[in-house]
Amino acid sequence: MLYENIKDIVNLLKVLYSKPLFMMDQLLLMINNSNTVYSNPVPVIIDCDPGIDDAVAIMLAASNPDFDIKAITTVSGNLQAQQCAENAIRILDMIGASEIPVVPGPSKPLVRPYPRDPFSHGTDGLAELGLPSPSRSCNSGYAPDVIVDLVRKYPNQIRIFALGPLTNLALAIMKEPDLPNLVLDVICIGGSFGFDAVGTARATGDNPASEWNIYVDPEAAQIVFDSGIKLTAIGLDVATHPDLELSVEHRRKLKNSGSKQAKFLLGVTSFVEKGGFGSYCGLIDSLAIATAINKEVINTTVVKVAVETQSVLSLGQTVVDHRENFAWSNINKLTVARTFDPDLFFDILLNGLTKA
């Protein structure tokens, strides 16, 4: 439901407040400004590259009635887009949500070859847990087109979870230059912004300075960051933080629930831990979903960010210009996560995955 201006919304709320409260559930929840109307449920696109943590994030999003998943679009990242799409369907099959459209994007980044991922998500990209083959083919279409079409269909309402490289979103913006003004917002997993040394110690791009999603397609990231789109980036400072780790108690709750989703996360955790990594590897992308469920999951700050697109040593690095003096004026500002609330995050994650 979309209203042209703030006056309409105020008038509507005056009527609604005179009605029983349950009616409110079906209508507007929150108003930010005259262009932005949060409907319930919020129509969302999950642009992703499943991948184990994407898979968990899809499950978390699908568990929440506040989201109406209009499409899953896949991008070449952890795996190439076609295989990511097949994996998305396998996940949707598992959780009984096969009706959600799944459409792949291009098989490689904008201007670069598809790179090798030093981290393995397993031979099938889903931790080798024996999930059945996909029950169906992908939906017809091309991921960037689907993004444009949905944003045009639901102006100022669509929230995009960008859980992989930003190739599809950059292509969508190139096709529809007004797209940044037409989305509700983007919550993206990407970058590393220098707030915590762990962001360097656990750098995921295939060099010492970058995060995987931005490393894969730095040109796409620069296009998206420069577009003016309302975007919150959650980088390695938070996404690889030692507090993003399943405790013994978390594991007990997951095990006791017996839900398919909980079993899957435990399987993923076992897979990454056998490989010598922490359980955070299966949780990273869920941070974006949890943040949309409760924005208090992260603390954010606004910084000037540019993407390195030339260097071999630091390709894809998200360079923050913190300088008091001589800071470059041509670098755009981004809202980025500085810290997160682990207790709140795990409450949301476990509630979502164990209730099914």
What does the binding site for Ca ion look like in residue numbers (CB under 5 A)? 49, 51, 54, 163-164, 285
Q: How far is the CB of 164 from Ca ion (least distance, A)?
A: 4
Q: How far is the CB of 285 from Ca ion (least distance, A)?
A: 5
Q: How far is the CB of 286 from Ca ion (least distance, A)?
A: 10
Q: Which is nearer to Ca ion, 146 or 163 (CB)?
A: 163
Q: How far is the CB of 48 from Ca ion (least distance, A)?
A: 5
Q: Which is nearer to Ca ion, 206 or 321 (CB)?
A: 206
Cα distances (angstroms) measured from residue 7 to each of 11, 26, 33, 183, 308: 6, 20, 11, 21, 44
Q: How far is the CB of 214 from Ca ion (least distance, A)?
A: 12
Query: Residue length, the chain?
Result: 356
Q: Which is nearer to Ca ion, 283 or 303 (CB)?
A: 283
Q: Which is nearer to Ca ion, 157 or 279 (CB)?
A: 279
Burial class (CB in 10 A: 0-12, 13-18, 19+), 258: exposed
Cα angle for residues 39, 302, 60 (degrees, 5° grid)? 40
Across the beta sheet with 231-234, the strand order is 102-104, 67-74, 42-48, 159-162, 185-189, 231-234, 333-340, 298-307, 318-320
Q: How far is the CB of 49 from Ca ion (least distance, A)?
A: 5
Q: Which is nearer to Ca ion, 189 or 223 (CB)?
A: 189
Gap between the Cα atoms of 134 and 87, Å rounded: 7
Q: Which is nearer to Ca ion, 51 or 199 (CB)?
A: 51
- Spatial contact of 75 and 47, defined as CB atoms under 8 Å apart: yes
Token duo for residue 22:
């349950």
Q: Which is nearer to Ca ion, 4 or 128 (CB)?
A: 128
State the alpha helices, DSSP H only, in 69-217.
81-95, 143-153, 167-175, 179-182, 198-201, 212-216
Token duo for residue 318:
């998200």
Q: Which is nearer to Ca ion, 101 or 164 (CB)?
A: 164
Q: Which is nearer to Ca ion, 49 or 117 (CB)?
A: 49
Q: How far is the CB of 78 from Ca ion (least distance, A)?
A: 6
Gap between the Cα atoms of 153 and 48, Å rounded: 21
Gap between the Cα atoms of 187 and 192, Å rounded: 15
Cα radius of gyration rounded to whole Å, the chain: 20
- Spatial contact of 103 and 142, defined as CB atoms under 8 Å apart: yes
Q: How far is the CB of 107 from Ca ion (least distance, A)?
A: 17
Q: How far is the CB of 281 from Ca ion (least distance, A)?
A: 11
SS3 of the chain: helix, strand, coil, percent, to 5: 40, 15, 45
